[in-house]
Structure 1
């Protein structure tokens, strides 16, 4: 593994740990009494979660993953195999495929009878 791939993997691990920490804090915030501080914590957690997702998408894109634009930050599309010798990627959220559906064009015999 070269230095850049190793660095990207380390950053990805760090972001994953950060996301887990944000999740744990979210669980404990419900124990806090309602207050201005609790609202500030909720807002900060929402912003941190969004920043984490955006960073994850940027790292995935830098590693060569495809992104689905069904949400912002974008969702990472994962490989699900091959379709007609083309690797297919699908969004885990909306299930959109990277391969466009085939369209059958039917030309009525009366038009083609010239």
Structure 2
């Protein structure tokens, strides 16, 4: 089974769960309705877990703000460094983080200050 078939299966499973959820509202209240609701919630949780596994197998980064984890979506590339930026649609977490890019800026600033100031230049008295 290839990934597109798995993706279609998950999409169809979601549709079935949506239909079952709408039908569960028609059940009379009682222990049977409660049991059906619990099974429906278990099925939804299993479906979310399978979505996370599919996303991971397709190379998506996963955010661990919830369980099962959420796939992080691409939000383009950093304008200065060109790294692809991924964000979680639920919590907004970003990978690489802004701190990661600030570290790049710090390293760049250090390298600019240190340009031409090597230990060899200092040893030869060129500083």
Is residue 2:84 matched to residue 1:87? yes
Question: What is the distance in 1 between the residues matched to 2:5 and 2:53?
Answer: 14
Question: What is the distance in 2 between the residues matched to 1:71 and 1:25?
Answer: 24
Coordinate RMSD, CA, aligned: 1.5
- More displaced stretch, 94-103 vs 72-81: 94-103
- Write the deviation string for residues 55-108 of structure 1: whole angstroms up to 9, x where unpaired: 000011001011000000000101010012100011011111011223588xxx
Q: Which residue of 2 aligns with 1:41?
A: 36
Runs of 4+ with deviation above 3 angstroms: none
| Structure 1: segments with no counterpart, 5+ residues | 1-5, 106-114
Question: What is the distance in 2 between the residues matched to 1:14 and 1:98?
Answer: 29
Aligned length: 100
Normalising by structure 2, we get a TM-score of 0.74
Q: Secondary structure of 1:79's match?
A: strand
| Structure 2: segments with no counterpart, 5+ residues | 107-127
Greater relative contact order structure (CA < 8 Å, 6+ sep): 1
Q: Which has the higher helix share?
A: 2
Q: Which residue of 1 aligns with 2:25?
A: 30
Question: What is the distance in 1 between the residues matched to 2:49 and 2:9?
Answer: 14
